[in-house]
Amino acid sequence: MLTWVVLLFFSVLARTAAVPVSERAAGTEVRDAVGDRLDVVTRSTSTVTTLSSAQLSALAPYTQFARAAYCPTSKITNWNCGEACKANSGFEVTLTGGDGNDVQLFFVGYWPAQNSVVVAHEGTDPTQFLSVLTDGSVLQKNLDTSLFPGVPSSVWIHGGFADAQAETASAILKETKRLISTKGATTVTLVGHSLGGAIAELDALFMKVNLPSNIHVKAVTYGTPRVGNAAWPAYFDSQVPDFVRVNNEKDIIPIVPGRGLGFAHPHGEIHIVAPNDAVSCPGDDDATDSQCTIATVPNIFVGDILDHLGPYQGINIGTPFCT
C-alpha cells in the first residue's frame, strides 16, 4: 500500500511541479551511419520538427549497440550476439565488464565505420527500475571532482546514478584513451538504455572533461530517466551539444524522478510518437508540445511501462531481445 502512495505522490509532482530549465534555440545534428550530416533538426522553445525517414534510419546502429549491451559477456567478447551484433558487423570489442547485478554490464570497442570508440552500458528490469526511481532513493549528490574536474558545485546528480557511473569510469577511460592512441579514433560515442542511458549520459560529460578537446564526444540514449538537478542540463548542454535521448511513445521511465523533486533533462529529446513517426522536441525539459514526452505522459498512470522496451523504430531493447 505504501508503495502506491509514494508512486501517486511522486507522479503528481512529476505532472504539476515545473523546475526552471534553460532555453536554447541552437540546432543539433543527426548524422547517418557513415557520419554524413543529414538535415539539421531545429530545436527552439516553441516548435517540434518531424524527423525524416533517413534521420530515423540513422539512429539504428546506436539502437543496436544499446540492445547488445544486455547480452552476456560471453557473446559480446566475440561479437556474436545475434541481430544486434550483425547490425554493426565491423565493430571490434576490446573490453567488457560488469556482472549484470551490482555493476551493469558494459563493453568498449572500436567502430571503424565512424572511426569512433563506442562505450555501451546495460540497463535493468524496467519494473524494478521504476520502483527505484519513484521511491525515496533519489537523494542527489555532487559529482566526484577527481572524476569530473571543473564541474560546478551547483550541479547535483541522482546519487545512485553517480555511484553506478563511478564504478566503471576509470577502466573505461583508460581503454578509451588506449583506443584513441592505437586506432586514431576521433570520436567517442556513448550509448545506453534505461539505467544504462543514465550512465551513458554521465559518461558523456566524463569523457568531455577528461579527453583532449579535439576528440568529439556524442551520446545516444534510450528511455533515460532524469539524471540531475536544473543546473545539470544547463552545464551538460554547454559541454555535450551532440546528444540525443530517444523516448518511445508512452514510456514512463523518462518522466521520473519527477521535476517536483528537482530533476531535469538536458536537450536532445526525440520522441517516437508511433512507428515511423518521431519528432525532435525543443529545449531541455520544457517541451510541452502535445507530441513530446512530458505532455504525452503527464504522470505514470497514463504511461505504459512496456513502451520502455520499444520498439525503437522496429528494434526492441532489453534482456529478452538479445538474440
Ordered DSSP codes for 310-322: --BTTB--SGGG-
Mean pLDDT of 152-176: 95
Cα separation, 66 vs 120, whole angstroms: 6
Q: Is residue 172 part of a domain?
A: yes
Cα separation, 61 vs 199, whole angstroms: 19
Cβ-contact 313, 82 below 8 angstroms: no
State the pLDDT at residue 127. Answer: 56
Cβ-contact 142, 219 below 8 angstroms: no
Cα separation, 245 vs 255, whole angstroms: 13
Cα separation, 190 vs 253, whole angstroms: 19
Q: What is the CATH number of the domain that holds 149?
A: 3.40.50.1820
Cβ-contact 321, 67 below 8 angstroms: yes
The mean predicted confidence, pLDDT, of the chain is: 84
Is the pLDDT confidence value at 13 over 50?
no
Domain that holds residue 201: 49-321
Q: Which residue has the higher pLDDT, 103 or 35?
A: 103
State the pLDDT at residue 237. Answer: 96
Q: Is residue 34 part of a domain?
A: no
Joined grid coordinates for residue 254: 523518462
State the pLDDT at residue 210. Answer: 98
Q: Total domain count for the chain?
A: 1
Is the pLDDT confidence value at 101 over 80?
no
CA dihedral (190, 192, 198, 200) in degrees, to 10, reads -20
Q: Is residue 213 part of a domain?
A: yes
State the pLDDT at residue 110. Answer: 98
pLDDT tens digits, one per residue of 217-254: 999 999 999 999 999 999 999 999 999 999 999 999 99
State the pLDDT at residue 24. Answer: 33
Mean pLDDT of 190-212: 97
State the pLDDT at residue 126. Answer: 62
State the pLDDT at residue 26. Answer: 35
Q: Is residue 29 part of a domain?
A: no
Query: 572524476: which residue's cell?
Result: 147
Is the pLDDT confidence value at 28 over 80?
no
The vertex-310 CA angle with 308 and 314, nearest 5°, equals: 170
* Identity at 179, one-letter amino acid code: L
pTM of the model: 0.85
pLDDT tens digits, one per residue of 268-317: 999 999 999 999 998 888 878 889 999 999 988 999 999 999 999 999 99
β-strands 106-111, 92-97 pairing: antiparallel
Joined grid coordinates for residue 33: 551511419
Please name the residue ranges forming H helices in the chain.
2-16, 53-58, 60-68, 73-77, 83-87, 126-134, 159-183, 195-210, 231-239, 293-296
Joined grid coordinates for residue 82: 545475434
Q: Is residue 1 part of a domain?
A: no
Cα separation, 34 vs 300, whole angstroms: 38
The per-residue DSSP string of 193-206 comes to ETHHHHHHHHHHHH
pLDDT tens digits, one per residue of 112-158: 999 999 999 999 866 555 445 544 457 899 999 999 999 999 999 99
